[in-house]
Amino acid sequence: MSYVPSTQAQRQEMLRAVGVSDYRELYRDVPEEMLLDRELDLPAGMSELEVSRTVSAMAAKNTLFSTILRGAGAYDHFIPAVVKSIPAKEEFLTAYTPYQAEMSQGVLQSIFEYQTMICELTGMDVSNASVYDGATAAAEAAAMCRDRKRRVTLISAAAHPDTINTVRTYCFGTGDELRLVPMKDGKTDLEALKAMLTPEVASFYVQQPNFFGLLEDADTLGEAVHAAGAMFVMGCNPISLGLMKSPRDCGADVAVGEGQPLGMPLGYGGPYLGFMATTQKHMRKLPGRIVGETVDAKGERAYVLSLQAREQHIRREKASSNICSNEALCALTASVYLAVMGPEGLRQAAQQSMAKAHYLMRGLTEIEGVRCVYPGPFFHEFVTTLPKQEEVLSALERAGILGGLPVEGGVLWCATEKQSREELDRAIAIVKEVLAK
């Protein structure tokens, strides 16, 4: 099946109308020796029922865990039913980028509302319509902070390893240098940062909470960065912003982050959502699509893709980024999530994630041999030592629990509002049992 609706008779009629006798003639510009003279080495096409069986069988080869105590950049939060049903509506789903404002007001308004919500979460003035994910948002932020004199990017070693590697790759592209600011006790080393803030530094990126779940002293880091004349970029967990001081209030010039916790499934890593916001001052350096409000010819409120002079289809090699397609439907998902959660629901999700993670930490560290690796306050992730690591994780797995992620020095655990006390108690009991042996 190829979803081609024309019948064989119609296809013949159309070929005649075009003035050719067969399909081969349509490809007359393709040199003969290049044409594929055989069938593709692919299986024969299948009916919908057969395809459904085949693909479902692949899905069945994955292990589904009933309790997930692993985060590290992908978080298992509760997804309300309406957050799944609204983005699945066929019009939202099957539209292209809203180039024609007169028949895309629904998409444009939803993005304008998304931009407003991101500004509210981050305290910033301007948000773009999204970028690919949190890691590319960090890389795009680093690029927007560079100018002719300041070319070096600093990133905290306590950021997500995939973020560090992505920013490094983008820097490799433009030929700019990335320097890693070392950690001390699992957090950015402030004194080391100060020493590294030389005049060629364009920006410093810190993740809040950081990869190990710890709360960075963002205000102080930001002050040091600004004192050296560089820009301060913060990568934030959006759920944590229900409780935590906004990046704007911490002095950030650019706020970015991974929006996956806002209603997107784990999905083996994507599609996720990169959010990106900045202050009025840096508005025109922000990459990606931005929706703006205007009026139509009748004076009615209307929305359009705006500030396009920054973008690749106008500026070509002088554009701030090559991004065009972003993650619009994921931005819509995040908007619906934030709309049904509301300020109180978001606060609850943050509060409960933090409470459950601390409950899990207390339960685990009461077991002999398990202790927190790093001091200091954390949000919903923490690192513990764990003897018999493999054995413990296997025992948890047999009980349908995905335990924490092995990292240097121990295991990185995560809890969210989704896990009940009972589930956490069960996990703690299993760890205790294995270690008592």
Partner 1 sequence: MKLIFEKSVPGRHCDLLPRCDVETVELPEGFRRETAPALPELSEVDVARHYTELNHRVHGVNCGFYPLGSCTMKYNPRIDEDMAALPGFAGVHPLAPAHATRGCREVLDTAAKYLCEITGMDGMTFQPAAGAHGEFTGVLLIKQYHQKRGDTKRRKIIVPDSAHGTNPATAAMCGFEVVNIPSAPDGCVDLEALKAVLGEDTAGLMLTNPNTVGLFDQNILEITRLVHEAGGLCYYDGANLNAVMGVVRPGDMGFDCIHMNLHKTFATPHGGGGPGACAVGCKDFLKEFLPASALMDEPGHIQVRAFAGNFLVVVRALTYLLTLGREGIPEAAKNAVLNANYLMRKIQGTFEPAFDRICMHEFVLDLSEYKKETGVSALDVAKSLIDYGMHPPTMYFPMIVHEALMLEPTETESKETLDWAAQVYRELYELGKNDPEFMHNAPHHAQIARPDEVRAARQPILRWQKP
**Exactly one of 314, 366, 368, 391 binds partner 1 (CB under 8 A); which one?**
314
The answer to the question of residue 285 lying near partner 1 (CB under 8 A) is no
φ, ψ dihedrals at 30, nearest 5°: -85, 120
Of the candidate spans 182-190, 227-235, 265-273, 365-373, the one that interacts with partner 1 by CB under 8 A turns out to be 265-273
Nearer of residues 19 and 437 to partner 1, judged by Cβ: 19
The answer to the question of residue 129 lying near partner 1 (CB under 8 A) is yes
| 3-class DSSP assignment, residue 116 | helix
Of the candidate spans 5-13, 148-156, 199-207, 223-231, the one that interacts with partner 1 by CB under 8 A turns out to be 5-13
Nearer of residues 66 and 229 to partner 1, judged by Cβ: 66
Q: Exposed (0-12), middle (13-18) or buried (19+): which is 284, by Cβ within 10 Å?
A: middle
Amino acid letter for position 363: G
Amino acid letter for position 398: R
Residues in the chain: 437
Of the candidate spans 147-155, 162-170, 196-204, 367-375, the one that interacts with partner 1 by CB under 8 A turns out to be 162-170
Q: How far is the CB of 27 from partner 1 (least distance, A)?
A: 6
The answer to the question of residue 23 lying near partner 1 (CB under 8 A) is yes
**Exactly one of 147, 198, 322, 368 binds partner 1 (CB under 8 A); which one?**
322
Give the number of other Cβ atoms within 10 Å of residue 227's Cβ: 10
379: closest CA among 250, 210, 132, 258? 210
Q: Report yes or no: 75 and 320 within 8 Å, Cβ to Cβ.
A: no
**Exactly one of 230, 236, 255, 349 binds partner 1 (CB under 8 A); which one?**
349
Of the candidate spans 187-195, 228-236, 338-346, 381-389, the one that interacts with partner 1 by CB under 8 A turns out to be 338-346
Q: Which of residues 179-218 bind partner 1 (CB under 8 A)?
A: 215
Nearer of residues 36 and 436 to partner 1, judged by Cβ: 36
What is the spatial distance between Cα 79 and Cα 87, in angstroms, rounded to a whole number?
13
Nearer of residues 172 and 200 to partner 1, judged by Cβ: 172
The answer to the question of residue 297 lying near partner 1 (CB under 8 A) is yes
What is the spatial distance between Cα 160 and Cα 152, in angstroms, rounded to a whole number?
19
Axis-axis angle for helices 421-436, 389-398 (nearest 10): 130
Residue window 60-99: x/- pattern of binding to partner 1, with contact defined by CB under 8 A? xxxxxx--x-x-xxx-x-x-x-x---xxxxxxxxxxxxxx
Question: Six-digit token pair at 148?
Answer: 């002719």
The answer to the question of residue 275 lying near partner 1 (CB under 8 A) is no
Of the candidate spans 178-186, 222-230, 348-356, 367-375, the one that interacts with partner 1 by CB under 8 A turns out to be 348-356
Q: Name the residue with tokens 């795009």.
A: 140
What is the spatial distance between Cα 327 and Cα 142, in angstroms, rounded to a whole number?
20
